[in-house]
Amino acid sequence: MAHKISKALVFTLGFDVTHVLTRLAEIGLEGKEKLIFVLPKDKKERAEASVSAIQAHINALNSRGFKLSGEFLRVDEHDFLKAVRELYQALEGFDELFVELSGGLRILNFALFTASLLLGEKVKRMSTKLETDGSNVALTQLPLVTLKQNEKALLQALKGEKTISELSKEVKRNKTSVYRTLEQLEEKGLVKPSETHPVRYSITALGELILDSQKWLNHGRE
């Protein structure tokens, strides 16, 4: 029997539910999705009014034949890492996630964004509302990459295009080892080979970003 794909639409929920309701109409619901709404653990009167409005909308859709399931996920807004962990644990069981950073507390939007990065390929789309005109903007899923020391050394050596022989001499490793590492980096989108002969490798814009991020990651571990 084929595996049934589990899908969830995830929204951050604020006082104004207009954008959430608009996105639900735009997305084109299949009728059996799980709808998850992220809001702070501390209950506020206006936030509870939003919960009631969303629940009423789900009930109205279900009365027309939909079989939607709604969940209001309350996370700790006072502890960022705890919020990220709670969101990750709540969402990791789904096969496909569609994330909408649609309102509510900024800290919860940041937490959901971070959890989405950690969830990787499970997140099929992540978007947010543009404040200037209310349009929806897709956010690029940047992979969280931790570089191995040999990968980092090669990326640091790629100042301009270089051949495997040049890199081998610079990082003091044999050509076979350098070639294998370059293949791994290419699969991650961090380097690209030229179409010339001999092949010359260069670091991509994503590679530069990931290499730069390692400074922050390493600093955080010290």
- When the candidates are 1.10.10.10, 3.30.365.10, 3.20.20.140, 2.102.10.10, the CATH number that belongs to 149-221 is 1.10.10.10
Mean pLDDT estimate for the chain = 87
Domain ranges of the chain: 7-138, 149-221
Q: pLDDT band for 168, please (50, 70, 90 cuts).
A: very high
Per-residue pLDDT of 5-34, as tens digits, reads 789 999 999 888 888 888 888 887 887 789
Pairing of the two strands 136-138 and 123-129: antiparallel
- Kindly indicate the confidence band of residue 213, based on its pLDDT and cuts at 50, 70 and 90: low
- Number of other residues whose CB lies within 10 A of the CB of residue 117: 16
d(CA 14, CA 22): 14
Task: Say if 7-138 and 149-221 have the same CATH topology.
Answer: no
pTM: 0.66
Domain 7-138 is found in CATH 3.30.410.40: no
Q: Is the pLDDT of residue 216 over 80?
A: no
Q: For residue 2, which phi and psi values (nearest 5 degrees)? A: -65, 145
Distance in angstroms (rounded) separating the CA atoms of residues 188 and 199: 18
The backbone torsions φ and ψ at residue 32, rounded to the nearest 5 degrees and listed phi first, read -130, 15
